[in-house]
Amino acid sequence: MILSGLLAILAGLSLALLLWQWRVGRGFPLHRRVADASFAPAVTLLKPLKGCDETTEASLRSWLTQDYAGDVQILFGVASADDPACGVVRRLMAEHPHRDAQLVICADRLGINAKVSKLVQLQRQAKHGVILVSDADVRVPPDLLANVVAPLKETGAGLVFCFYRLANATTPAMRWEAVAINADFWSQVLQGRSLRPINFALGAVMAVRRETLEQIGGFAALTDYLADDYQLGNRIAHAGGRIEICPVVVECWSSPLRWRAVWRHQLRWARTIRVCQPAPYFLSILANPTLWPLLWLAAQPTPAVAGIALALIGVRMVAAWHLAVALTPGAAAAGTGLRAPVKDLFQAALWLSAFAGNHIEWRGERYRLLKDGRLERGV
């Protein structure tokens, strides 16, 4: 009875945390645009690339077709002239000869993180006072630039980032991951923000003033870290800069991924969060709204407990669907509610696995994740 009572309390706590997460998610003005786009400082976009797939060209093109009043410089960075992305970039630059765009060969390997190594070399060629960084697989609406720089107009704003959604969940494994990204992750970020100011960034799209970036040592200070986006936001926050969220949602596009690839990606993400925020990650298991009702039912398999447990899981399903619809209007959110309980059980296994080691696989290589977030090559 003591175990059953404890599990009942944990089930109730997970419901309370879910309702809190749902409430802050509903209160955030997703997709809202700025009413006045006259603030348009000159911007340099740094776009590190490695390889390409069938979605790369459309994603890169979305940056070349921005409706923005200010000057825009776009620097595409690759490690080698043999990279398949070079052909895509050259073709797009030929399509848009009026754009100030350049393909930069970033041949120097300045640290373990190859992406940040490219950013260091691209930063050297940046012309303008606002620096944007975006991952290769990110596709954006035409008014993204006007909206993402808008918070930098305010005094004290240090960095702006965007929420993102997984846009093409084409396999069962990706549809499971889409529940984590499109329903849970962004609303969990807002849940954390309701407790304290954000002290990290999400790397799909980030905007920062050049002087702010230089104040924390530029990208050169991050070359050996895995979570460069977290580190960038964390250092700017510690230096006194406010981290802002742009309400415009961007899209992440990917080639089809199977279970093994998605599991490696999620495990890398989980171990990174565990290192960056150990206490919050450890406590995050308390917010699993499927695990605790099912464990309570297993400990006390009575009709009353079964009814309550099913009701709690039902609330979870509705909340997941509603949050996914908020981030991803339309048919893309279909089925999210039904998949949410399965995702929660996978998430419990992932939580345990995050504590089972410090090794990650990233871009076909194996690394050891150190306690301070740096990477070390090794098996």
Task: Assess if residue 320 is contained within a domain.
Answer: yes
Do 196 and 290 have their domain in common?
A: no
SS (H, E, C) the chain: CHHHHHHHHHHHHHHHHHHHHHHHHHHCCCCCCCCCCCCCCCEEEEEECCCCCCCHHHHHHHHHCCCCCCCEEEEEEECCCCCCHHHHHHHHHHHCCCCEEEEEECCCCCCCCHHHHHHHHHHCCCCCCEEEEECCCEECCCCHHHHHCHHHHCCCEEEEEEEEEECCCCCHHHHHHHHHHHHHHHHHHHHHHCCCCCCCCCCCEEEEEHHHHHHCCCHHHHCCECCHHHHHHHHHHHCCCEEEEEEEEEEECCCCCCHHHHHHHHHHHHHHHHHHCHHHHHHHHHHCCCHHHHHHHHHCCCHHHHHHHHHHHHHHHHHHHHHHHHHCCCHHHCCHHHHHHHHHHHHHHHHHHHCCCCEEEECCEEEEECCCCEEEECC
Report pLDDT for 288. 97
Task: Assess if residue 356 is contained within a domain.
Answer: yes
Do 259 and 309 have their domain in common?
A: no
Task: Assess if residue 33 is contained within a domain.
Answer: no
Do 106 and 176 have their domain in common?
A: yes
Do 285 and 261 have their domain in common?
A: no
Task: Assess if residue 175 is contained within a domain.
Answer: yes
Largest Cα–Cα separation, the chain: 73
**Predicted confidence (pLDDT) per residue in 134-179, tens digit:** 999 999 999 999 999 999 999 899 999 999 999 988 899 999 999 9
Report pLDDT for 114. 92
Mean pLDDT for all residues in the chain: 94
Report pLDDT for 223. 95
Pick the closest to residue 201 from 165, 163, 171 (CA basis). 163
Report pLDDT for 377. 82
Let me know how long the chain is: 379
Confidence of residue 366 (pLDDT cuts 50, 70, 90): confident
Confidence of residue 120 (pLDDT cuts 50, 70, 90): very high
Task: Assess if residue 32 is contained within a domain.
Answer: no
Q: Say how far apart CA 86 and CA 105 lie, in whole Å.
A: 9
Q: Say how far apart CA 247 and CA 163 lie, in whole Å.
A: 7
Do 187 and 218 have their domain in common?
A: yes
Do 242 and 203 have their domain in common?
A: yes
Residue 378 has pLDDT above 70, yes or no: no
Do 99 and 208 have their domain in common?
A: yes
Instruction: List C-alpha distances in Å: 341 to 286, 293, 309, 336, 350.
Output: 15, 11, 12, 10, 14
Do 18 and 55 have their domain in common?
A: no
Do 262 and 359 have their domain in common?
A: no
Confidence of residue 187 (pLDDT cuts 50, 70, 90): very high
Least confident of 207-216, 273-282, 292-301: 273-282
**Predicted confidence (pLDDT) per residue in 313-332, tens digit:** 999 999 999 999 999 977 66
pLDDT > 90: percent of the chain: 88
Phi, psi of 119 (to 5 degrees): -60, -40
Report pLDDT for 331. 61
Least confident of 61-65, 103-107, 319-323, 360-364: 360-364
Q: How many domains does the chain have?
A: 2
* Domain boundary, last residue among 225, 242, 270: 270
Task: Assess if residue 317 is contained within a domain.
Answer: yes
**Predicted confidence (pLDDT) per residue in 8-49, tens digit:** 999 999 999 999 999 999 999 999 999 998 999 999 999 999
Do 244 and 280 have their domain in common?
A: no
Least confident of 101-115, 187-201, 276-290, 354-368: 354-368
Do 306 and 348 have their domain in common?
A: yes
* Domain boundary, last residue among 270, 302, 318: 270
Residue 379 has pLDDT above 70, yes or no: no
Domain CATH for 208: 3.90.550.10
* Domain boundary, last residue among 219, 249, 270: 270
Task: Assess if residue 38 is contained within a domain.
Answer: no
Report pLDDT for 365. 78
Task: Assess if residue 148 is contained within a domain.
Answer: yes
Report pLDDT for 144. 97
State which residues form the domain around 56: 43-270
Do 304 and 242 have their domain in common?
A: no
